[in-house]
Structure formats: C-alpha cells, structure tokens
A and B are shown apart, each in its own frame.
Chain A
Amino acid sequence: MIRYALTRGALLVLGLFVASALIFLTLRVLPGDVAQLIAGVNATPDQLAAIRERLGLDQPLLAQYLSWLGGIVTGDLGVSQLTGTPVIDELVEKAEVTIPLGLMAMAVAMVIALPLGVLSAMRRGRPDGTALSVGAQALAAVPVVWAGMMLVIVFAVWLGWLPAQGFPRGGWDQPGLALRSLLLPAITIGVIEGAMLLRFVRSATLQAVGQDYVRTAAAKGLTRNQALVRHGLPNMGLSIITVLGLQVAGIIVGAVVIEQLFGLPGIGRMLVADVGNRDLPKVQGELLVLTGFVLVVGFVVDLVHRVLDPRQREAG
C-alpha cells in the first residue's frame, strides 16, 4: 500500500512538472504581451522596451521558465506583472468564492444524480424511467450560459428571491448574503453536471442489477432492492467516486463560464481577465494550482479505491 502511494505520488510530481512546462510554453504562443497593454495605443518603441525590461520580459524564455520553476519549488508562485500582488494571495482571496461554489455545485449534482439515477434504472422500460433518462440526456446537453440566464430571469428578475449577479463586498462576513449569491450559480453548474452524473449512476445501477452477487443475494431471500443497497451500492460507490473525481475538472471549467455570467469574483473570472491582460506569471500560477488540484484529486481517488476495494488491496 505504501509502495503504491509512493509510486503514485512520484507520478503526481512528474505530472505537475510536465504541466508546468506545457503551461509555460503554450502561454508564450499567445500574441502580444502585458507591456503592450500597459503602454496602450500611444506607446513609442522605446517606452515598450523600457517596460519590457522592467518586467523581465526581455530575458530568454529558458531563463524565465527556470526562474519561475525555482520559485515554485520554494513555494513562491510569483507576483502579478500588473499590480505586483503575490499570485498566491490573489488565489486565496478568489478561492473564497470558487471553492464554496464548486462544493455547492457538487452537492447539487449528487443530490440530483444519486436518487434519480438509481430510480431511473429501477424504472427502466416504464414511462417514468424513460422520461427521467431522456430528460437527463437533454439537460446534459444544455449550454451552461443559457441555463444560467434562464435561472436568473426566473429567480432574480421575476421572483426577486436571489441576487442576479455579484458577490457581497464583505464576502463571508455576511454568510447569508454570500450563500444566496452562490446559490443560482451552483445550481446552474450542479444541474448540468448532475445530469451527466445521473446517466452514469443509471448505467452503473443497471450493471449492478445484472451482477451475479445481486442475483445470489436475491436467491438467498433478499428483495432486489435490498440486494442492490447491501451489495450493489458499495460496488457502484467506487466507480461513482472515480467519476466525481473526473467531474472536478468539469466543475472548474463550469466555474470559469459561470463566474463570468454571474459577475462572481472567483478564480475563473480572474483567470479570464488575466489571460486577456497577458499577465502571464499570474496565469501560470493559477493554471498550475488548478492543474495540481485536479491531479491531487485523481491521486486521492486512486488511494481511496485502493483502501476501499479489497480486490485491489490484495493485488497490490
């Protein structure tokens, strides 16, 4: 088990290293730089050169990369080229919005997907089961932006129950307001991610129903539902955890879109603005942290699998 964790951990570090190189290089392909943006539509070549020098943009790419990498190893993600603020400070501030948003979206997705997914599998072939399955299929195909707009129009503009956009300036000092302003965005992401998860839960349930151990349990005198809950769920649980892990990436992408739409000052909106401003040290730091987060989630999911699944434990 420990050997497994160590190997898996080494892979994680390697993955992060490769990601850092990819992030650094792909960002350099973007036309334009932050110096041009600071100088604007009035800059002389001399002014531009002076700003580039001040920001270290005149250094060779390899030197820039190594200096960034050196910083990361010592826990320093660098500073914004526009404001001079440490990237880590900005990330921590914006995470106050994005992490609760992601957790709430995940909760919404699970609340929708788990019961309805099992239900739609159990009712397969009947009208309600088919309706659920088709509905989920349709919902999963809805663009996040459109879904968000509709929710805003109904719950914020017509009913006036929830804010249309923004986050309280006091942040979590006003927990009620903060929660309310995250509710619509979380539902928007959660419903769509939930629809995808629902389809997965449904097929996992169907698979479980057909398994020998469920049949055997039923033969021992359990009802089909009891057999499913007792023996099917633990087996399904493992694969659902895997899918949830994968959905973390989906929720992050959803947050980028939804934070724009709802004017939420989170990591997603910051990322889009920073790419537009070509504040590359900041974008690098943000992307690396997000990538790292997704990789760590994958790592944890693998370990959890290992712990929960006796078959894998023995094989290892």
Chain B
Amino acid sequence: MLRRTTLAAAALLAAGALLLSACTGETSPTPTATDITPDPDASVAIRLVLEPGNLDIRETAGAALDQILIDNVYQGLVSRTPEQDIVPALASEYTVSPDGLTYTFTLREGVTFQDGQELTPEDVVWSLTQVKENAAYRDSARLAGVDTITADGQVITLTLAAPDSTLLWNLTGRAGLILKKDDKTDRKTAANGTGPYALTSWKQGDSITLTRNEDYWGDKAQVAEVVFDYIPDNQAALNAALAGEVDVLTGFDANLKEQVEANGDFSLVVGASTDKGTLAMNASSGPLADKRVRQAIRQAIDKDAIVAALGAGQTQYGPIPELDPGYEDLSEVAPFDPDAARSLLAEAGAEDIDLTLTLYSGYGTTVSQILVSNLRDVGITLTVNPVEFSTWLNDVYINHDYELSFVLHTEARDFENWANPDYYFGYDNPEVQRLYAESVAATDADAAADLLAQAARIVSEDMAADWLYNGASVLAVGTNIAGVPSINVNERLNLAELAKSTE
C-alpha cells in the first residue's frame, strides 16, 4: 500500500522558514473569534504558495488541494482537528466494535450540497465504494481492507476482514470524502461539496475564491468570502502584506518576522507541523550502500545549525515527527559528531568521496548550503543539483536515479513509506514491515503507536535516511483576523472559525 506524500506544498518553507525558539513544537495560538467583533460581510485574502494544476480531489495528487478543499468545501463522515484528533463531521456520531471489524456511522439529516441537492445515505455508500473500486482515485488503496459498505436508514456500516487502526484517520482524508452520486460537476475546474464554503471561482494563475455556504448544516462561516491568492515568492508576499493587499500569509519565512511585524498590522504565528525535512540516501549502490557511510553523513550534519538558519521548527532524528503517534526522541542514535563521522568514513575506506544531492529547486538554498559545508568538513564533496518538481518526480521518485535527495515530506502519519520497499527510499527491512503490519492490525491505539515507535527506531538505527529538521507552520496573520489555524496548515487550512474584525 502506497501513501500520498506531499512534498511540494511548503516549498518556500525550506527557503528559510521556521521559528525563534528552536526547542519544541511550541505553538503561539492565533486569536479566536470571540476576541473580535466579526464583520459578516468581510472578504479575507489569504496568501498561499503553490497553486494546484487542477481541482480534481479524486485523481490529482498534491497537498495544495487537500489544504484548501478538505473541510472547507468537501467533507467526510469524520474530520481531524488541528491537534490531529478524529472528530465527527457528516456523521453525528460513530462507533467501532471491540474486535475492530465493524464501523457504524450515523449520518446527519438535513445536509445539502452546495448546489442544493440533498445528502443521502446512498451518496455516502456510492462515494466510498467509488474510491475503493477505482484504482485511479487517490488513496483508493486505503479502503482496500473494507469488505462491505452499506446503509440502513441513516446508519452507514463498514465491515472489515481484519482490523485496521488507520481506517478512521484515512476517512478524514481524501478516501473518506462524500460527493453527490452521479454529480455532473466538472471536478477539474469546479467543486460541489457539503462544507461551510462553496468554491465560486478559480482564476487560473491568480486566485481561488470561496464563498460562504448560506445553507450550511453547522455553524455558518463568519466571513462572506475567502480569496486564496497564489504568490510563490516570499518577498512579493511580504510586499503585498505591507501594502494591505492580503490578510494572512501562509508558508512564510520566520526570518522575515521583523519586517512583517514592523507596522503593527501583522503578527508572526508559528505552529507545529508534520513537515519532515528528509534526506533520502539511495543505498542500492555506491558508497551509500555501506551503513557506516550513511551514519557518517548523519553525524556530520549539524541539525541545530539548520533549525537556527530556518528560524523555526525543531530537530527530528527519526522518521516519525512529534505530532504523530509513535514519536520517540531518537537523538542519541546518530548525534552530531564530525570526528566520529571521519573515523567511520576511514573505516569504510570512503575518504574523499563525491556525492550528488538532487532536490526540487523551489526549496531554496538554505539547507543545501549547510549540507555542502558540513560534508566538506568530513571529506565528502557534495554537488547540489536543483531541478524542477517534474524532473524530480521523473528521476528520483519514479526511476530512483539519485544518490542523495532532500524532500520536505509534509503528510501526517506517513510511516508506511518505510514499510514499502518499492518507495523511492528503497528501504527494505522485513522486521520493519512486520511491525508496521502489526501496528495497522492493532485494535488499541496505544499498542499501535508502540509498534510504530519500535519500527521507527529500527529505521533510524539502520541509517535508512537522515532527518534534517521537523518544520513548523509559519504564518503572518493580520491583527484584525481571528480563527486562523496554526498547526500543520500545509496539510489542512480549516477556515470554519475564520473571522475579520469590523474595525
């Protein structure tokens, strides 16, 4: 089973994002709507970095779609909170049988789609069945373990052949989205969901506009309109903010804190995220096939210096970030120690080696410059090869043609890539695969997390890759704006609470 890993969204984060205190995933919360007097006619402009190629939530990959469409426009039976808890959404409640084989959801009544059609239990069964049966749909494999999907009145029942501790989480993502049966909406350029906002316009190359859904089943949105402005460049985004053209900047650079806060109209907000700055090492051939060389590389890189240069985020020494289940502090596995790195390289007979780092050019140069200088210190000559994202996909992801590759993997709970030998990491350890399978099959959340932690430790001890930092969500939020989420906004930007002050 493969998992969607979203690299692109926070491209500019790596160009220099992240926060002041490098300690933990500390969060400076944004104001809540109760702190201001909301203007019901307000239009809020939010800067985003990467525009999606099309809007097809079923077939087109990329966090750029999840970020704006899930929760705001499309909804599932369940949803996730910024704190990564699972909560009811289109289902008013749900239960899981003790054996973990039967999931029952009670569908809310009186829910309508944005085009006015009513949400029926039949739509739910149809949507989930479509995803399960259509392999071309994103995340289809995540429903592979579901045996039957049936409706009895408002009660939707999913039965499984074996327990799947990831199913509820998967239902908060694309696999669980409920669309209208046989809807004629062109999903590539428009959308029709049940969420608090309707997608009313997409001006390609410029902006996407959401408008309040006046018939929403829950608490209605507190702003009339949200405009997502796509501004790739951080400096241009800063200028737009200072000129009063946007209200919120996402994917911002923590090093620009002083500039953006200078006139008192904005404050920098930093939240935890599951962004993992991953240095993949292709162990299939060459010097990197030697574990000692991989360990030497890990010990040669000064992670604290990287976090300091980014200005936000924290260190991370294993495949699982602090927000996800199975996290454990693995800093002792390969601590920063250039002397140890040099002896390992000598022992491996790999002094004076040349390596190439292939990475998406949108990530900027902050991280790669530190890598070049750290590795030079221990006798490794690193050549940096920045490429277009399409080229990266072709060479590194599809053809596994690389030595080192840096990617900011943004997706939450994506450990399964380490249990999949076909993934571009090329990491193949039967013990890790077994532990992961057991974790999926566990019926107890703590037991599942514990198994993940064991597997993650092995991955780190095998020196399968290096983790350069755990990124932060960096936003600049107008002082007249409330209700902007601050955690993991590259994955989800839930705007249900968004409000703009009348002043």
Seen from chain A, the residues whose Cβ lies within 8 Å of a Cβ on chain B are 30-34, 36-44, 46-48, 50-51, 82-85, 90, 94, 149, 152-153, 156-157, 160, 163-167, 169, 260-263, 265-266, 269-270, 273, 276-279
Contacts and interface: CB of A to CB of B under 8 A. Distances in A.
A41 B391 contact: no
Contacts of B112: none
Contacts of B204: 83, 90, 265, 270
Contacts of A260: 232-233
B394 interface: yes
A38 B388 CA distance: 15
A43 B61 contact: yes
Contacts of A156: 239, 243
A188 B275 CA distance: 38
A47 B135 contact: yes
A32 B393 contact: yes
Interface in B50-70: 51, 53-54, 59-62
Chief secondary structure at chain B's binding surface? loop
Contacts, number: 143
A31 B390 contact: yes
B239 A84 contact: no
B interface residue count range (under 10 / 10 to 19 / 20 to 34 / 35 or more): 35 or more
A263 B53 contact: no
Given A163-B245, A265-B206, A41 B5 contact: yes
B54 A41 contact: no
A46 B135 contact: yes
B245 A164 contact: yes
Nearest to B244: A160
Contact of A84 (B59, B189, B388): B189
A169 B200 CA distance: 12
A51 B231 CA distance: 29
Contacts of A166: 206, 229, 231, 240, 245
Contacts of A273: 51, 205
A263 B188 contact: no
B390 A37 contact: yes
Given A83-B189, A165-B239, A165-B245, A263 B229 contact: yes
B61 A41 contact: yes
Given A41-B397, A262-B236, 20 more contacts: A30-B391, A32-B393, A36-B393, A41-B6, A41-B7, A42-B139, A47-B136, A50-B136, A82-B60, A83-B53, A156-B239, A160-B244, A163-B243, A164-B239, A165-B239, A165-B240, A167-B206, A169-B206, A263-B236, A279-B53
B236 A38 contact: no
B140 to A, nearest CB: 9
B62 A40 contact: yes
B393 A38 contact: no
Contact of B205 (A43, A47, A265): A265
A57 to B, nearest CB: 13
A149 B235 contact: yes
A17 B139 CA distance: 44
Interface in B180-199: 186, 188-189
24 contacts: A30-B390, A30-B391, A32-B390, A34-B53, A36-B393, A37-B389, A38-B61, A40-B62, A42-B5, A44-B135, A46-B135, A83-B53, A84-B186, A164-B236, A165-B240, A167-B206, A263-B206, A263-B230, A265-B204, A265-B205, A265-B206, A266-B205, A276-B388, A276-B389
Interface in B464-479: none
Given A36-B393, A169-B227, A277-B53, A157 B243 contact: yes
A164 B243 contact: yes
A32 B397 CA distance: 10
B235 to A, nearest CB: 7
B348 interface: no
B3 interface: yes
A169 B6 contact: no
Contact of B390 (A36, A84, A152): A36
B411 to A, nearest CB: 9
A296 B189 CA distance: 34
B398 interface: yes
Given A38-B53, A38-B60, A265-B205, A165 B189 contact: no
6 tightest A-B CB contacts, nearest first: A40-B61, A32-B394, A32-B390, A265-B206, A42-B4, A164-B239
Contacts of B138: 40, 42
B267 to A, nearest CB: 18
A41 B4 contact: yes
A166 B246 CA distance: 10
B239 to A, nearest CB: 4
B391 to A, nearest CB: 5
Interface in B204-223: 204-207, 209
Given A90-B204, A149-B235, A32 B391 contact: yes
Nearest to A90: B204
A263 B390 contact: no
B2 interface: yes
Contact of A261 (B5, B54, B236, B244): B236
